[in-house]
Amino acid sequence: MRVLIVEDSDSICRMIQALVAARGFEVRSAATGAKGLEEAFAWAPHVVLLDINLPGAYDGLQVCAKLRETPSTKTTPVIIISAMNDDEVKRRAAAVGANAFYDKPFSPLALLKEIEALSRKSEAAMKAARSSSPES
């Protein structure tokens, strides 16, 4: 299973990488929204972990919206992980299509369980899409 981490904090990124890699998942990371979108479109992750406060042209909410607008990533589960945790931010995250929201600091085990549950749904959806798409 492929997990993409879009997080500008190197220490948080390394911690999440170690957590999911220990479960045998393939992991890639990006420190900006633009790089995160490039990775998502090129690599087709099963789950995207996404911070809201990112440097550069796109914040996490904009990245999530762009993932939802793009046919190849519109059903990819997105988990927001952010220190911005007021109700308005959570509402906006849900409005752009986030599947889950974790406040920083977060429970690594709870996050891992969420990743595993969403990845199973993502893999099933990808298989169903491939089997139902007409041959070219």
Residue 116 is predicted with a pLDDT of 87
CATH of the domain at 14: 3.40.50.2300
**Six-digit token pair at 87?**
């109700």
Tally of domains in the chain: 1
Enumerate the β-bridge partners of residue 27: 3
Q: CA–CA separation, 32 vs 15, rounded Å?
A: 18
- Domain of residue 68 covers 2-132
Average pLDDT in the chain: 92
Residue 112 is predicted with a pLDDT of 92
Band of residue 135 on the pLDDT scale cut at 50, 70, 90 = low
- What is the residue-wise DSSP string for the chain? -EEEEE-S-HHHHHHHHHHHHTTT-EEEEESSHHHHHHHHHHH--SEEEE-SS-SSS--HHHHHHHHHHSTTTTTS-EEEEES--SHHHHHHHHHTT-SEEEESS--HHHHHHHHHHHHHHHHHHHHHHHHHSPP-
- Residues with Cβ within 8 Å of 7's Cβ and at least 6 positions away in sequence, in order, are 13, 16, 29, 31, 49, 50, 51, 54, 81
Band of residue 33 on the pLDDT scale cut at 50, 70, 90 = very high
Q: Please tell me the pTM assigned to this model.
A: 0.90
**Amino acid (1-letter code) at residue 33:** G
- Residues with Cβ within 8 Å of 107's Cβ and at least 6 positions away in sequence, in order, are none
Residue 63 is predicted with a pLDDT of 98
Q: Are 20 and 115 in contact, with CB atoms under 8 Å apart? A: yes
Q: CA–CA separation, 128 vs 106, rounded Å?
A: 32
Residue 119 is predicted with a pLDDT of 77
